[in-house]
A and B are shown apart, each in its own frame.
Chain A
Amino acid sequence: MVSLRSAPPRVIPGLSLSLGITLLFVTLVILLPLSGLAWQLAQLDLADYLRIIGSERTLAALRVTVTAAAMATLFNGIFGFIVAWVLVRYRFPGRETLDAVIDLPFALPTAVAGIALVSLYDGSGWMGRLLEPLGIQIAYSWWGIVTAMTFTSFPFAVRALQPAIEELDPDEERAALTLGASGPALFLRVILRPLMPAILTGVGLSFVRSLGEFGAVIFIAGNMPYETEIASLLILIRLDEFDYPAAAAIAGTLLGASLVLLAAINIAQHRMQAYLREAR
């Protein structure tokens, strides 16, 4: 019997070339930079980290970022659901245009979104002129941050929900109605429950995107320390002061929170889908 001494050649060519290019790129462009952050963080001991994060200004920036992101996510959760529902279930003139326009915030550079929003909501803007006499100040306030975050993360909510709504069976809703289900009960049981995994994804992605949003926010935020200063901006300010440890500590916190959230969404989604399959 003849045995082959070395490993047989692979049939499909290109493993070493493609993997080589991939690993080189991944190392230089992804892994090294991420390890740069890790390296800077590793030089901090816990006390330093807590002192930076626990400082009043950092805490305020984190609070502003998280609360505004939560409010933007709430808006997008509600209106994203309505828009997705309308797009899937109803046929009306302008539906296709509406569908196409949803992706505009994805495609529009964030700096453009930023100056667009401020031009709309400042004292001389169309919305500003309408709202300021009513005593509602959006530009250069916390609500401005919410508006910017809502704009940039809006597509996440809609696009996550659309395919899930398409999979709902309208017959089930009709059947529930004929069985005497009331409106709210129908909505909760037959519509909202099977959509939960998609809602969670849309809302989660929207929130994570909002946490890190920068370009759209800084134009309209006013950027007052303690009041309308977001975490990303504070990172940049610390960088300008060459306070790299502080910049890294805030960035690490932001990145850590995003990663934990993304992982949690993933896990929760799997659990929910498994649960829904069993319930069927």
Chain B
Amino acid sequence: MLRRLLILAALAFTVIVVILPVVSIFHRAFAEGAGAYWTAVSDPETLAAIRLTIVTALIVLPLNTVFGLAAAWAIARFEFPGRRLLLIVIEAPFAVSPVVAGLCFLLIYGAYGPVGAALADYNIQLMFNLTGIVLVSAFITCPFVVREVLPVLQVTGLDEEKAALTLGANGWQMFRHIVLPNVSWGLAYGVILSAARAMGEFGAVSVVSGAIRGQTMTLPLQVELMYNDYNATGAFAAATLLTFLALATLALRGLLHHFGPKRDQAA
């Protein structure tokens, strides 16, 4: 009796709070038919936003991958003063809310910020353009790769790396043949989470993007713009694309979880 009641309550809450809203997006996006949906999706401004979102991710992900691997390697393999503090600093972006994150960047790199003002003398502008969007996206997603790779490095691989060194491998060969394959699952996991977050970020990006139509609008910003323009079909159509992205992220994550090595089974 209690059991049924609890299951029912859990299902009802999840359906109302999580599932209904998502279904509602598709309902609204197709409210005017599939034709209107396709017209909305292929709107030039929406396409420009898609392009910018993808370009941003393509710049941010390699940055975060290199940073994540470097930071995890330094923290897992070496002792140095401030090692624990470094880990806390790397985790800090998760504690900073989106608008506050965007504001921080504006206050330092914006035209009135100390760094931004100095760079303005050389005609370099970092905010309200792609650079600003990339920087703030890098901030928001930078803990993901470290978080996934560091625990893997901490429990595995040290003996294998030493073996590779005794066999004559240089640092790069050891990294490519031993370290990278060992952390590949964790790395993939971290990159997928970063990608989803980088492409979907709204609050932080909206502070630094400058919101120039067709130029500095990422897809989430474009959703807001169209919604405020009373272009409901356009907004919801764009939203479905981001929803597919979220669903694909969850599916990929599930696949990695299913086929990847179990965390506790270090050979």
Contacts and interface: CB of A to CB of B under 8 A. Distances in A.
Complex contact flag A–B (Cβ < 8 Å): yes
Given A29-B135, A86-B7, A151-B21, A214 B162 contact: no
Q: Which of A17, A29, A82 has the most CB of B within 10 A?
A: A29
Interface stretch (B40-48, B181-189, B239-247): B239-247
Interface in B14-57: 14, 16-22, 24-25, 27-28
Interface residues of B, number: 90
B99 A116 contact: no
Contact of A108 (B22, B106, B113, B224): B22
Interface stretch (A7-15, A162-170, A189-197, A271-279): A7-15
B26 to A, nearest CB: 10
A19 B203 CA distance: 31
B114 A39 contact: yes
Interface stretch (A50-58, A172-180, A231-239): A231-239
A125 B17 contact: no
B100 A235 contact: yes
Q: Which bracket fits the contact residues of A?
A: 35 or more
Contacts of B162: 11-12
A29 B165 contact: no
Contacts of A211: 97
B246 A98 contact: no
B267 interface: no
Contact of B78 (A12, A26, A125, A151): A12
Contacts of A36: 104-109, 113-115
Contacts of B101: 33
B142 A108 contact: no
A19 B90 CA distance: 13
A160 interface: no
B73 A109 contact: no
Contacts, number: 267
Given A11-B165, A36-B109, A214-B97, A116 B21 contact: yes
B212 interface: no
Contacts of B105: 33, 36
Nearest to B107: A36
Interface string B77-113: 1101000001001101101111111011111110011
A215 interface: yes
Q: Is the interface of B mostly helix, strand, loop or mixed?
A: helix
A15 B18 CA distance: 45
B139 A30 contact: yes
Contacts of B201: 109
Interface in B204-252: 206-207, 220-221, 223-224, 227, 235-236, 239, 242-243, 245-247, 249-250
Given A19-B78, A100-B250, A262-B95, A214 B203 contact: yes
Contacts of B100: 37, 212, 232, 235, 251, 254-255
A71 interface: no
Interface in A32-70: 32-37, 39-40
A262 B7 CA distance: 32
B239 A101 contact: no
Given A21-B67, A22-B70, A26-B86, A32 B236 contact: no
Contacts of A86: 6-7, 9-10
Nearest to B93: A30
A34 B206 CA distance: 18
17 contacts: A14-B74, A18-B73, A25-B67, A32-B108, A33-B107, A34-B104, A40-B107, A103-B253, A107-B249, A107-B250, A109-B242, A110-B98, A110-B203, A116-B22, A215-B203, A254-B100, A259-B95
Interface of B: 3, 6-7, 9-11, 13-14, 16-22, 24-25, 27-28, 63, 66-67, 69-71, 73-74, 77-78, 80, 86, 89-90, 92-93, 95-101, 103-109, 112-115, 135, 138-139, 142, 158, 161-162, 165, 170-171, 174-175, 196, 199-203, 206-207, 220-221, 223-224, 227, 235-236, 239, 242-243, 245-247, 249-250, 253-254
